[in-house]
Chains A and B, each alone.
Chain A
């Protein structure tokens, strides 16, 4: 009996393995399979005199679209979700947190023709990677022309806002006279044993390299940038954290006094709740762009366009403005709370010219920080 038992089991297992091997994706990835629905980039059957928004709404109702799936970072989606659903109550905005784990998932689902994003909004370096994977499609972005400053020449995405990086300190533990006024002030032994640095920095270091003159039309050298930050790390010997929330919590609670490079979003969240932390009022800081894009084959193509148009409208900018990423919308830059907040601190945001920082530089910049500055390999 045992022989037969084993034969049957072996047969089942081998069949299963063969099945899974057949199911495995080939490499390099094949052309994407057709998605569940068409990817019309413009609403169908325009009615004479109807606005683009009205046409989209009619198309949504005609196609029976009830939801729109928005892949972005979760802290961003909340306020947008509320404002969008209030304006378009016939649509449910479903947010998917595009954390690091989900990016490869998106690519794999796309290859299998079984993915669901209607709209993505991510840091620029991730948009570059999604485009390399063939996921993004061009879209006219009627509310946000690429002739505006800081926009790509193509139509795969728009850079709508910027994530900022600034030192954050504990106001109970750092005397006003000691608060850094420039990045150079961080290179000081008084911070030894009192500071923390995060492995996460995004592509922010591009902006710092621009400020130091490491970016030229001939290319990026990084020498001065890396040697400055390595010196800061050697001088201060900071504790090393990951992400932005955890390290800043240690500043909030007083376990360390200063986070050398903090994300503005996390910082402002704590300030608004009354935590004893503040940004160091540097004269300048640089911008790390965030991009909104339309994937190919969105399952709800009309709702996707409606959401993109909303995000790129002045109304959408206001909805997202309760969080502290300054907008790049030229009509809103002076009005937006986030922009005003930094201007009020005396901090000027420096934008890196496209010709000095090609898009391909962004995905690599993050690694320079981790590998060459923090020393993790």
Chain B
């Protein structure tokens, strides 16, 4: 690998590059710090009586902390939160990681199909997904337990209302992120290093652990951190599968403080959020230590590169079975439950009697609603703007963090990561309070939704671009720059094409989350800017799971098609063009 000396840029501050960089950095830091400031400030204020915030200079107190931590249960919940996040992370890493390796680095069958299907769980509304798993794993009426009982057993095999079931459901839900991020990193890895190991006499296991894993360390650290923090924030699964049996985590505590009490206990919710933030800070610190060594893991240089697939040989059928099993339990089974629910007038388990009730009425009702096209249009604008804008923003930030490395770059990196640990609802409130008073006419428009989602999902977008960029040596850009290419040209003609698979995967991922997650849109939408997530909630509130099932199936089909098209368009591009 070529060692490249960092050439000092010519001093001329007001260049296009610097203006773009300053504006992007300022934009990110400002919008990322505002919710943090909002959260910290108000956690020390007595925001009782349903007030969202108090920005007066007096009335500071520790009341919220005392109220939140007076009960020993709070510490039990902290333990549960940690336990849940770790278990979820492990399940996601095992499934997502193995499948990513099989798809990207081996000749396992159904690779394109897997890629398309991996997006399915992302779009399924969390509430419905948890209900689908309850219908499968309920100790009393769960479909899988009923099959078990039919074999003559009397005790249930599964219990939907337990921590392992929560790990399973949440871990499977998160496995796509592991798949996409590790997949991008694996695709970018130069297999000649592994081949060199084989040539030197190492077997496959030794090569896997001593070469592949080491090269993957930054990506693994990045993904693990994301999984952990996502586990801390996950709500629907702990709420539906855990809280009923007393398995409370911080996310459910925040939910109870904000949604169940009258008036909402904002102060306590902010305090619980701060603990999550502290854990996230710790994660960022550890992550940055790993990433600081990422230069060692650079594998794509200007010297030619072409990833090759490992032949699984006699293991190929077995791996295919594993992949099919994974697809079945992770996606097909819950999707079938969702599709089944969408055909019924009310929630029923499969039976001959239930079959008589099957119809397409929920779909007909949905397509006949006058607001359905408006919602779809708004959702398309929001999703496209966040998907494309988020990844471009993330690319510039990653370039600054990994390439430019100015002093204080860790601050920018941390600022770009922190919104992940800020509960969506607190972030939405902070944007509401700010933009209600700023003379910027975006409050009440789709653009405030775009901004809030951009900031919320920037941490995930930057993980994709950090991982991709850390594996591309800077000599390609240096060569272009020394040939007179401008900053924009380098980005457009070198980095974006090289990182295209990562950018598309990341863009699709944050697009899916934007479409699905309710909390931000719930606070910032208006009747004219209604989007899918709010629509799902309102349909749920007006009727029940069945209409929402129909809506979710429509979105799953549409977004699956979108991902397959995106995959087709980016196939054969990306890092390979450098070769």
Bitwise, A77-112 to B at CB < 8 A (1) or not (0) is 010000000000000001111011111110111001
Stretch at the interface among B326-334, B435-443, B452-460, B497-505: B435-443
Q: Say yes or no for B307: interface residue by CB 8 A criterion.
A: no
Cα distance A100–B25 when bound, in Å? Answer: 35
Q: Say yes or no for A58: interface residue by CB 8 A criterion.
A: no
Whether A23 touches B434, Cβ cut-off 8 Å, given contacts A114-B443, A240-B243, is yes
**Residue ID in chain B nearest A247 by CB atoms:** B244
Cα distance A199–B534 when bound, in Å? Answer: 22
Q: Say yes or no for B53: interface residue by CB 8 A criterion.
A: yes
Q: Give me 26 A-to-B residue pairs in the complex whose CB atoms sit less than 8 angstroms apart, sorted by A's number.
A: A9-B22, A12-B26, A13-B26, A17-B30, A17-B33, A17-B37, A24-B437, A27-B53, A69-B527, A75-B542, A94-B527, A99-B541, A102-B523, A103-B263, A105-B432, A107-B50, A114-B443, A125-B262, A241-B244, A242-B243, A246-B131, A246-B240, A253-B349, A274-B357, A366-B262, A377-B71
The 8 closest A-B pairs by CB, nearest first: A23-B437, A12-B26, A24-B55, A94-B527, A27-B54, A275-B346, A112-B436, A239-B244
* B400: min CB distance to chain A, Å: 10
Task: Judge whether A376 and B347 touch: CB under 8 Å.
Answer: no
**Residue ID in chain B nearest A271 by CB atoms:** B346
Q: Give the interface residue-count category, chain A.
A: 35 or more
Which of B347, B425, B444, B519 is most buried by chain A, counting CB atoms within 10 A of its CB?
Answer: B347
Residues of B within 8 A of A12 (CB): 22-23, 26, 30
Task: Judge whether B50 and A104 touch: CB under 8 Å.
Answer: yes
Cα distance A5–B436 when bound, in Å? Answer: 31
Contacts of B207-259 to chain A: CB distance below 8 A:
239-240, 243-246, 255-256, 258-259
Task: Judge whether B349 and A254 touch: CB under 8 Å.
Answer: yes
Cα distance A252–B543 when bound, in Å? Answer: 14
Q: A-B pairs with CB below 8 Å: how many? A: 195
Bitwise, A214-254 to B at CB < 8 A (1) or not (0) is 00000000000000000000000001111001100110111
Bitwise, A352-377 to B at CB < 8 A (1) or not (0) is 00000000000110110010000011
Task: Judge whether B244 and A27 touch: CB under 8 Å.
Answer: no
**Residue ID in chain B nearest A74 by CB atoms:** B538
Task: Judge whether B244 and A240 touch: CB under 8 Å.
Answer: yes
Task: Judge whether B259 and A242 touch: CB under 8 Å.
Answer: yes
Number of interface residues of B (CB under 8 A): 84
Task: Judge whether A25 and B437 touch: CB under 8 Å.
Answer: yes
Residues of B within 8 A of A370 (CB): 256, 260-261
Task: Judge whether B432 and A108 touch: CB under 8 Å.
Answer: yes
Q: Say yes or no for B484: interface residue by CB 8 A criterion.
A: no
Cα distance A1–B266 when bound, in Å? Answer: 44
Q: What DSSP secondary structure best describes chain A's contact surface?
A: helix
Cα distance A239–B264 when bound, in Å? Answer: 23
Query: Told that A74-B542, A254-B349, A367-B262 touch, could you supply 14 new A-B pairs with CB distance under 8 A?
Result: A5-B21, A5-B406, A6-B407, A13-B26, A101-B428, A107-B52, A112-B436, A114-B443, A239-B244, A241-B244, A242-B255, A253-B348, A273-B346, A376-B256
Q: Say yes or no for A73: interface residue by CB 8 A criterion.
A: yes
Q: Say yes or no for B545: interface residue by CB 8 A criterion.
A: yes
Bitwise, A27-46 to B at CB < 8 A (1) or not (0) is 11000000000000000000
Whether A108 touches B541, Cβ cut-off 8 Å, given contacts A8-B22, A13-B26, is no
Q: Say yes or no for A155: interface residue by CB 8 A criterion.
A: no
Q: Say yes or no for A154: interface residue by CB 8 A criterion.
A: no
* A175: min CB distance to chain B, Å: 17
Task: Judge whether B51 and A104 touch: CB under 8 Å.
Answer: yes
* B301: min CB distance to chain A, Å: 26
Residues of A within 8 A of B239 (CB): 242
Q: Say yes or no for A21: interface residue by CB 8 A criterion.
A: yes
Cα distance A253–B259 when bound, in Å? Answer: 26
Residues of A within 8 A of B335 (CB): none
Task: Judge whether B262 and A363 touch: CB under 8 Å.
Answer: yes
Cα distance A210–B380 when bound, in Å? Answer: 52
Task: Judge whether A13 and B30 touch: CB under 8 Å.
Answer: yes
**Residue ID in chain B nearest A376 by CB atoms:** B256
* A84: min CB distance to chain B, Å: 14
Q: Say yes or no for A4: interface residue by CB 8 A criterion.
A: yes
Task: Judge whether B345 and A96 touch: CB under 8 Å.
Answer: no
Residue among B30, B33, B260 making CB contact with A376, cutoff 8 Å? B260
**Residue ID in chain A nearest B252 by CB atoms:** A242
Task: Judge whether A1 and B264 touch: CB under 8 Å.
Answer: no
